[in-house]
Structure 1
Amino acid sequence: MPQPTERADRILDAAGELMIRLGYRKVTIEDVARQAGIGKGTVYLHWRTKERLFEALILRASAELIDELAADLRRDPREIQPHRFLRTAFLATQRRPLLRALVTADAELLGSLADSPARAREQQITDRYFALVGKHGLVRDDVPHLVYAINATTTGFYTMGSIKPGLATLDDEAAADVLAHTVQHAFEPDVDPDPDSLASAAAEIADLFDELNTSYRERIYADPESERG
């Protein structure tokens, strides 16, 4: 597998700057090459289409977020508790415009990438996460359609500003605190979790994140020739 290169990351940095400023539909490979200070053909040495380039950009942002979450879990297993985990994920996402656009399905910014494969992969991880915290007793067992309820609740915090623009807004830290309070009191047991369960669940999820990131990076920096056929 080709290793990540400084040139590839410089191209992705340029693509990200342009995408945030102009939106996916308006950015061309020529624009990206000019922004990166290279020739157009050099971009195609790394990604054979504009779509592959920008999918790699989104996957790189996702990999950075997942690395951050895994590091937090290994530093403090209590971060596996849903109210803490979702608070951290919310703030980490809000700091990354491309991931914020992905979560809210912002078609104006992402164009056709609003349906990026990254969304399906992220949902698979979300499902695995909730299966694990359920197995370890970190969520209540009397909430109907628990995963749906938590997903709906969390999504509301990401989309509130666009859906209800006239509503008084909170800064990201305040919104994250409200999210954590809501999740803890609506979906978690009243009893303190067992430390061994926290440690076991945190280690399992962190390992899962590492596995996911390996597959992400293989796709981000894949040799274009390996995808032909």
Structure 2
Amino acid sequence: MTQPTERADRILDAAGELMVRLGYRKVTMEDVARQAGVGKGTVYLHWRTKEQLFESLIQRAAMSLLSELAADLRRDPREIQPHRFMRSAYLITQRHPLLRALATADKELLGNLTNSPVRSREREISDRYNALIIKHGLVREDIPHLVYAMNATNTGFYAVGSIPHDAPDIDDETAADVLAHTVRHAFEPEGDPDPASLTSAANEIADLFDELTKTYRERIYAAPGTERG
């Protein structure tokens, strides 16, 4: 017998395939049910609206990103350093079409989901991360508007693919290496950071990611027919 979480994942997989192919606006709940091989009523049993369904799809993608980053931080606290953290996040994002769409605010694919609550949580995570790396001395203190400069640099690496330019195309690994090199030499101080500071910062961010992952999981796999907070 199919478990509710397995059925929910099958529906979400179908929704993701259709969204990548057609875009949010063109996909209907009937399309998702047909793709998943279930009745339309079964889809509505899990999600009462199309928006709720696709919010869960985005939350599942975010959950995957956060889980992988948290595991990296617990394995090696040096992954909290901006150049390593941004490199890892870039590569994970590039592997996932929905995460790529979120990173570039792709309205063609996401429609009005570009204003998803997940984006607000992303900003909260970014604010917490930036506060930690500043607190623990992992970035230079002499750069004006430091956070703005780092965000602009990071965002540019995601957005450049959609902007006409004369530079040769490079693969994701190379782009991630260039991003890491740029961040390391533009924003981080010389020398090796204090290991205790790295561990403290890495554990705090990993704990935050674990907390958010738990929240997303509870919302995505809420008992069929219940309200999602």
Q: TM-score, normalised by structure 2?
A: 0.95
| SS of structure 2 residue aligned to 1:5 | helix
1:165 positional shift: 4.5
Residue of structure 2 equivalent to 1:34? 34
- The separation in 2 between residues aligned to 1:148 and 1:214, in whole angstroms, is 30
Q: Are 1:78 and 1:198, in contact at CA under 8 Å, matched by a contact in 2?
A: yes
| Corresponding pairs, count | 226
Q: Give the structure 1 partner of residue 75 of structure 2.
A: 75
Structure 1, unmatched stretches of 5+, are none
Match in the other structure for 1:102 = 102
**Alpha-carbon distance between aligned partners in 1 of 2:4 and 2:147, rounded to the nearest angstrom:** 36
Give, as a single letter, the amino acid of the residue that structure 1 aligns with 2:140: R
Instruction: Choose 215-224 or 74-83, whichever is displaced more.
Output: 215-224
**What residue number does 2:128 align with?**
128
- Could you tell me how far apart the structure 2 residues matched to 1:214 and 1:94 are? 23
Deviation at 1:4, TM superposition (A): 6.4
Query: More displaced, 61-70 or 133-142?
Result: 133-142
Checking the alignment, whether the CA contact within 8 Å between 1:48 and 1:224 is kept in structure 2 is no
CA RMSD of aligned residues (A): 1.4
Residue identity matched to 1:134: I
Distance 1:11 1:79 in 2: 34
Normalising by structure 1, what TM-score? 0.95
Are residue 184 (structure 1) and residue 168 (structure 2) matched?
no
CA deviation after TM superposition for structure 1 residue 32, in Å: 0.4
In structure 1, the residue corresponding to 2:142 is in which secondary structure?
coil
Distance 2:75 2:40 in 1: 43
Structure 1 residue 218 displacement after superposition: 2.1
- How far did 1:223 drift? 4.3
Q: Secondary structure at the match of 2:85?
A: helix
**Could you tell me whether the CA contact under 8 Å between 2:47 and 2:225 is conserved in 1?**
no
The verdict on how the C-alpha distance between 1:173 and 1:41 changes in structure 2, with shifts beyond 3 A counting, is same
In structure 2, list runs of 5 or more residues that go unmatched: none
- 1:198 corresponds to which residue? 198
**C-alpha separation between the residues in 2 aligned to 1:149 and 1:45?**
45
Inter-CA distance 128–167: structure 2 relative to 1 (3 Å threshold): same
